[in-house]
Amino acid sequence: MVAPPVPAGVAAVLAVLRSSAVLVSPDDVVVKASTPAYELGLVRGDRLVETGLAEMVRQVRRDGLIRESELVLTGGRGSAARHVHARVAPLSSRLVLVLVEDRTRERRVEAVRRDFTVNVSHELKTPVGALTLLAEAVGEAADDPEAVHRFARRMRLEADRLGRLVQQVVELSRLQDDELLDEPVRVSVDALVAAALDRTRTDAESRSVELVGQDDTGLAVRGNAGQLEVALGNLVDNAVAYSPDGTRVAVLVRAVDDTVHLTVSDQGVGISEDELERIFERFYRVDPARARATGGTGLGLSIVKHVAASHGGEVRVWSVERTGSSFTLVLPAWCDVGPAPGAVPGAVWSAASPTAAPSAPSPTPLQEATS
Ligand code: ADP
């Protein structure tokens, strides 16, 4: 059968849509499909792969009514299932239009948020419960000043812990809202190292942990100074917290190709191989009892990982139990050569960063279906 003609202008309109678009003829042959439709695995040869979608096309052809549905596609490139929203509508008397939007990422983000809320509520219960019990204990020990002092000290510790937890939850939610996608700026690595070390200096001194940092490298990275300071600060905090008194924590900086490596090394308790995989998970603590003593929340490293990823970098870890650990933050170096005249500000950023806001959709030409 000769394929029906595609109405004038339709191809151009479909090419600028973000959704995958497929045009199907009366004999179920794909007449045109956009590049994303092929990438999503909607079309193979000149046919729709997904039987659910093909069935929707037939129903629409029968009664001319627009249909919408959520589908799970399993036949695409790569083996992971894709969650999509499909909208099928008659385009002309003979053609049916299929528009499919990939919602996999949104669904994943929603699931992560749901888990996060549950975890936060659970984590908040511990210090709140402890404070309630301690308040009762203080009431009962009213005529024993020494006990009152002891309980008050513990209340203070629990309150600090609660404060840290709330602060880290707020930091993490802010990161998730992608606020970091402000225009990245030049961040001096020397200033970053100095700020991260300063944050921990009092703690380190009280335990005779020597802090060593390079402060004359002249290197710079691109990103958000506040977030990078939190990330590097968390690594230094951990290095000090998980090290015995009298040891050394060092921050070393190295330029490697077009990245900067910031390595925080300690001579502390180390992490076993099985645990290494899990330490970046939210609320994961290797030793909850010890974490209680150090006031750990289990959120520090997930913040580091998030900041690294959203800066287009990564975090690496090396560790041997009872020997020490090294965490390396790999970040894109600041490039002093300015953007080419007429370049869109932040364009490089969007490309390098996985969570960056998508740049304006570039028109994807509709392709003739290949048979
Ligand atoms: P926490 O607030 O408990 O420190 P993190 O997310 O920062 O949470 O770290 C997760 C776990 O990883 C910690 O509970 C700790 O057991 C382990 N860890 C992190 N950094 C180090 C380190 N430098 N040395 C040893 N163990 C570490």
Residue 351 confidence (pLDDT): 24
209 contacts 269 by C-beta, under 8 angstroms: no
Ligand 1 center to 240 CA (angstroms): 10
Summarize pLDDT for 10-22 with one digit per residue, the tens. 888 887 888 899 9
**285 pocket-lining for ligand 1 (C-beta < 6 Å):** yes
Summarize pLDDT for 194-216 with one digit per residue, the tens. 999 999 999 899 999 999 998 79
Range list of β-strands (E), the chain: 20-24, 30-34, 43-44, 47-48, 67-73, 82-90, 96-102, 185-188, 210-213, 220-223, 248-256, 259-265, 314-320, 324-332, 366-368
Which residues, listed in sequence order, are joined to residue 253 by a DSSP beta bridge? 262
**172 pocket-lining for ligand 1 (C-beta < 6 Å):** no
The structure tokens 């939850």 sit at 169
Please state, in angstroms and rounded to a whole number, the distance separating the CA atoms of residues 350 and 364. 19
CA atoms within 13 Å, Cβ hemisphere of 318: 9
Summarize pLDDT for 320-369 with one digit per residue, the tens. 999 999 999 999 999 875 444 333 332 222 222 333 333 333 333 444 44
pLDDT higher than 70, residue 220? yes
Summarize pLDDT for 90-127 with one digit per residue, the tens. 998 889 999 999 998 888 778 877 888 888 888 888 88
pTM, full prediction: 0.65
Q: Which atom of ligand 1 is nearest to the CA of 299?
A: 6
Residue 105 confidence (pLDDT): 83
Summarize pLDDT for 279-301 with one digit per residue, the tens. 998 888 887 666 656 667 888 99
Identify which has the larger pLDDT, 80 or 61: 61
Identify which has the larger pLDDT, 220 or 350: 220
Q: 190 pLDDT band (50/70/90 cuts)?
A: very high
Q: Please report, for residues 60, 123, 132, 162, 297, the alpha-carbon distance to residue 126 in angstroms, rounded to integers and kept in the order given.
A: 55, 6, 10, 9, 11
Residue 35 confidence (pLDDT): 86
Ligand 1 center to 279 CA (angstroms): 7
